Amino acid sequence: MPYIDITDSDQFQTLLTRYAEAHPREVAADQAAWAAQARGGKRRPRPMPSPFSRPMPPETLRKILAWGRQHHLVTRRDAEAFAERYGRYHSDPGVVVQITPAPCGTPPREQAAVRLEALLQWVHLTERRVTGGVELLTLPEARAVLRNLAKDPEVHSYPRERAAFLAQWLREQEQAQTRHTQGEPAPQLALFDTNERSV
């Protein structure tokens, strides 16, 4: 059986699906926890389109990668590199998505901007080049791209969740910049907050 290329979003989803099929009780517990959060008012009820569809903590990912290695689905080198990259990407989007002033927008003027490629790299957990060029987007433009990605039924649920979170994170950064210019302290954003927020 050929190894799964976990740097590819589709194949990474395949690994998650195979793990879930081998651990039905764990999936049931995960879905029950999701439903309990919805009943508690912390999250609007919605179906889970696939197992482990929302962003997972690094320790859960390491467990799944270890299972993949035991069953010869992923190589040790790929698993270690992916876990290291996921730890960085999970802990702080700013590691990849850097907000810098640049001339952009219509008409062009200098304002806070991000690279489209960086957005897609963070969403898909990859360091590969994922666009044909380095397109700069204003923060509102970037959030619009991410909102569309989060709603795209052709995209797997895992990247959709990350896209939704990243749109939220960008909104928080923009608000923090506004507060900073007004001399107000900016609150910290908890990564993958269980509370539902609009993006």
DSSP state of 8: S
Please indicate, yes or no, whether residues 87 and 145 belong to a single structural domain of this protein.
no
Please indicate, yes or no, whether residues 112 and 158 belong to a single structural domain of this protein.
yes
Domain holding 70, by residue range, is 9-91
Please identify, among 91, 117, 145, the residue that sits at the C-terminal boundary of a domain. Answer: 91
| Within-domain flag for 190 | no
| Within-domain flag for 63 | yes
Q: What is the sign, positive or negative, of the torsion defined by CA atoms of 55, 52, 13, 157?
A: negative
| Within-domain flag for 189 | no
Please indicate, yes or no, whether residues 123 and 63 belong to a single structural domain of this protein.
no
50-102 per-position pLDDT tens digit? 445 455 677 888 899 999 999 999 999 999 988 887 777 766 788 889 999 99
On the question of pLDDT at 107 being above 90, the answer is no
Give 161's contacts (C-beta < 8 A, 6+ positions apart). 53, 54, 55, 150
pTM across the whole model? 0.61
19-36 per-position pLDDT tens digit? 989 988 887 887 777 667
DSSP state of 56: -
Please indicate, yes or no, whether residues 81 and 115 belong to a single structural domain of this protein.
no
137-168 per-position pLDDT tens digit? 999 999 999 999 999 988 877 788 889 989 99
| Within-domain flag for 187 | no
Please indicate, yes or no, whether residues 125 and 155 belong to a single structural domain of this protein.
yes
Please count the structural domains in the chain.
Answer: 2
Please identify, among 91, 106, 135, the residue that sits at the C-terminal boundary of a domain. Answer: 91
Containing 76, the helix (H) or strand (E) segment is: helix 76-91
Please indicate, yes or no, whether residues 13 and 80 belong to a single structural domain of this protein.
yes
